[in-house]
């Protein structure tokens, strides 16, 4: 038999038994009360302690004492717990979440004490969110992304790229979240507001929205400030990617790349041509060298990648849609950084293909392209803008 709370505070008497039709000595528990009364102190918790605050690492949680009945004065002590285990030194009514708390359940036990004794009650449980990746957080801060879904999508994108060991191969990653030029310009890989960080600079007519950025096909460009490094007049280790959201882009369809200094012919780039009929990745020296494929729908995730001179492949949604052989060298040139949304050169080539993601960097093999495609697909799905 357990002594307990009576019908009034500090009373005992006949009470509810083990079943609804019996009574027993000892305790009468009014059903509105959740806590036991400590007989010695007479302390009973009538409103449970409550944790408030943001459930993210680095944030501060606060726990109320709850409401107690019993002899006064009453003092309160706090013990925070992680997955039911005491957290050392966490004995104030506030607690700053640390990395070890990510994806755990946090509770707080409040112990009320008066002159006669003490009694304890446990707070609600707060599940702590997975800790944000530092690179993702830097981008989210720079781009001013406040939407939790977008934040989560960016964080997962970074985690996926790192897990696949392709994060380090990226020079620039443009997620196009936030719906404005001021949000879309940032490079996830290096979110600094400088040309050297490959931060985009938008010129001409662009439409920025929650699904991406759309050049107008007449004068819109976005400079990446990336001057591809020609090695002996050839680039054998690079990739470019573009998440295309437009079925039939206008113009010649060059969505990313740069041309040469003579007549603007594309040397390196991806094209998703009008009518969905021809996709190309260009290589140097031979102006007619290209990898082509016939597509009926321009939408999808396109990657052009060279991992060696004789390993040049064009992918759509991770599937190879063409490959090329070795190419010869051409004269090196500078002064035409890669454009996004257009092809840079003495004559700029424009098109109007909405972009939901783009990247460039070192060459990716087939396995790595698959991993990139999976990461980008997850990213677009999370944002409900996959095509």
Partner 1 sequence: MIVVKLTQAQADSLRGVEFIPDNFFNPIVDADGNWFISIEERDQCDIEWVKECEEIPYNPVQVNLF
Binding site for partner 1 (CB under 8 A): 180-182, 185, 201-208, 216-221, 251-252, 264-266, 287-288, 347-350
Instruction: Work out the end-to-end distance of the chain between its first and last CA atoms, rounded to an integer number of angstroms.
Output: 66
Decide if 215 contacts 352 (C-beta within 8 A): yes
In whole angstroms, the minimum distance from the beta carbon of 385 to partner 1 comes to 21
Q: How far is the CB of 353 from partner 1 (least distance, A)?
A: 15
In the complex, what is the shortest distance from the CB of residue 290 to partner 1, in angstroms, rounded to a whole number? 9
* Of 274, 223, 279, 224, the residue nearest 246 (C-alpha): 274
Closer to partner 1 by CB, 180 or 325: give it.
180
Pick from 363, 271, 360: nearest CA to 311: 363
Q: Is 97 or 338 the residue whose CB approaches partner 1 more closely?
A: 338
The smaller minimum CB distance to partner 1, of residues 220 and 318, is found at 220
The full length of the chain comes to 387
Kindly tell me which of 319 and 335 has the beta carbon lying closer to partner 1.
Answer: 335
Whose Cβ is closer to partner 1: residue 341's or residue 363's? 341
Closer residue to partner 1 in complex, CB, 169/208: 208
Please report how close the Cβ of residue 257 comes to partner 1 at its closest, in angstroms: 12
Least Å distance between CB 220 and partner 1?
Answer: 7
Q: How far is the CB of 277 from partner 1 (least distance, A)?
A: 14
Q: Output the smallest distance, CB 252 to partner 1, in A.
A: 7
CB nearer to partner 1: pick between 6 and 251: 251
Taking the least distance from each CB to partner 1, the nearer of 66 and 269 is 269
56, 42 Cβ separation under 8 angstroms: no
Smallest gap from Cβ 304 to partner 1, in A, equals: 17
Is residue 34 within 8 A of residue 122, CB to CB? The reply is no
Task: Please identify, using beta-carbon distances, which residue of 5 and 280 lies nearer to partner 1.
Answer: 280
Please report how close the Cβ of residue 180 comes to partner 1 at its closest, in angstroms: 7
Question: Nearer to partner 1 by C-beta: 139 or 301?
Answer: 139
- The answer to whether 340 and 358 are in contact (CB under 8 A) is yes
Q: How far is the CB of 80 from partner 1 (least distance, A)?
A: 43
């Amino acid at each position: 038999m357990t002594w307990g709370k009576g019908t009034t505070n500090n009373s005992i008497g006949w009470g509810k038994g083990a079943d609804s039709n019996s009574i027993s000595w000892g305790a009468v528990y009014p059903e509105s009360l959740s806590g036991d009364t400590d007989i010695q102190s007479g302390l009973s918790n009538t409103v449970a302690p409550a944790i408030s605050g943001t459930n993210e690492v680095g944030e501060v949680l606060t726990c109320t004492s709850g409401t107690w009945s019993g002899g006064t004065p009453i003092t309160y002590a706090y013990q925070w717990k992680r997955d039911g285990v005491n957290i050392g030194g966490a004995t104030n009514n506030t607690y700053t979440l640390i990395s070890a708390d990510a994806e755990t359940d946090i509770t707080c036990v409040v112990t009320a004490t008066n002159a006669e004794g003490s009694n304890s009650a446990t707070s609600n449980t707060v599940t702590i969110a997975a800790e944000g990746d530092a690179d993702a957080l830097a981008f989210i801060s720079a781009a001013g992304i406040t939407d939790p879904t977008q934040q989560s999508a960016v964080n997962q994108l970074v985690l996926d790229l790192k897990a696949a060991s392709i994060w380090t191969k990226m020079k620039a990653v443009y997620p196009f979240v936030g719906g404005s030029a001021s949000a879309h310009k940032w490079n996830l890989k290096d979110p600094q507001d400088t040309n050297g960080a490959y931060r985009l600079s938008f010129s001409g007519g662009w439409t920025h929205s929650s699904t991406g950025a759309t050049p107008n096909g007449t004068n819109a460009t976005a400079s990446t400030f990336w001057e591809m490094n020609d090695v002996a007049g050839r680039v054998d280790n690079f990739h470019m990617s573009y998440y295309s959201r437009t079925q039939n882009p206008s113009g010649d369809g060059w969505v990313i790349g740069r041309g040469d200094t003579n007549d603007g012919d594309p040397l390196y780039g991806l094209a998703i041509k009008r009518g969905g009929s021809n996709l190309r990745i260009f290589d140097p020296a031979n102006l007619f060298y290209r990898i082509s494929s016939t597509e009926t729908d321009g939408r999808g995730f396109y990657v052009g990648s060279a991992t060696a001179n004789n390993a040049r492949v064009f992918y759509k949604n991770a599937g190879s849609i063409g490959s090329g052989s070795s190419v010869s060298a051409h004269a090196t040139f500078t002064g035409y950084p890669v454009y996004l949304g257009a092809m840079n050169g003495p004559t700029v080539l424009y098109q109007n293909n909405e972009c939901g993601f783009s990247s460039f960097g070192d060459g990716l093999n087939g396995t790595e392209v698959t991993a990139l495609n999976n990461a980008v697909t997850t990213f677009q799905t999370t944002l409900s803008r996959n095509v």
